Amino acid sequence: MVSALQKYATLLRQNEFKATQPRVKILEVLDKSPQPLTASEIHEKVSTLDIDLATVYRTLNKLADAGVLNRVELGDEFSRFEYKRVANHHHHHIICDSCGKIVEINLCNLDAIASDIAKSTGFTNIQHQVVFRGCCERCALKVS
């Protein structure tokens, strides 16, 4: 059985990165998180390891550029990152306007539209990112 540390170290090496303690810990934090996290949120979780915020930012951007992590833009000023559990897994997110909870939506019916856009514009490799907003069940109960 492969330990979590070995899993992250192997993933890093497969993508031509050294398996440093900060990189391994950042991957572990993101893998265990149920929602995408900002660099500051990740830094807070690894602060006991004396990893500075600049290292967190640098690591996140390098790993996202290499395709190890997903960079998630939710329409605010912060980039968030999530562990890429499945290669080429496309999904969207919904955000609670009250508490900020973020939930992954594993449903996308926009591929046909993207195909039509490609045909009509000549564009290739069309990507899209949709963010849904609403009120989560817990916050809706508070309002009722």
Whichever domain contains 143, its CATH number is 3.30.1490.190
Identify the domain boundary among 65, 86, 107: 86
Q: What crossing angle do the helices spanning 4-14 and 21-32 adopt, rounded to 10°?
A: 110
Mean pLDDT for the chain overall:
88
Identify the domain boundary among 86, 105, 123: 86
Residues 5, 69, single domain; the answer is yes
Residues 78, 94, single domain; the answer is no
Mean of pLDDT values over 47-55: 90
Q: How many residues does the chain have?
A: 144
**Alpha carbon distance 78, 57 (integer Å):** 12
Residues 14, 57, single domain; the answer is yes
| 11 token code pair | 């993933």
95-110: pLDDT as tens digits: 899 998 888 887 777 8
Q: CA torsion, points 60, 61, 65, 66, in degrees to nearest 10?
A: -40
Look at residues 26, 40, 43, 2 and name the one whose alpha carbon lies nearest to residue 83. Answer: 26
Site of tokens 């893998």: 31
CA distances to 7, 23, 30, 31, 103 from 69, rounded to whole Å, are: 15, 12, 9, 10, 17
> pLDDT band at residue 93, thresholds of 50, 70 and 90?
confident
Please give the model's pTM, rounded to 2 decimal places: 0.77
More confident: 129 or 59? 59
Mean of pLDDT values over 66-85: 88
Structural domain for 141, as ranges? 90-144
**pLDDT of 28 over the 70 cut:** yes
Counting residues of the chain whose pLDDT is more than 90, the rounded percentage is 52
Q: CA torsion, points 61, 63, 67, 68, in degrees to nearest 10?
A: -140
Residue 18 sits in a domain of what CATH number? 1.10.10.10
Residues 64, 79, single domain; the answer is yes
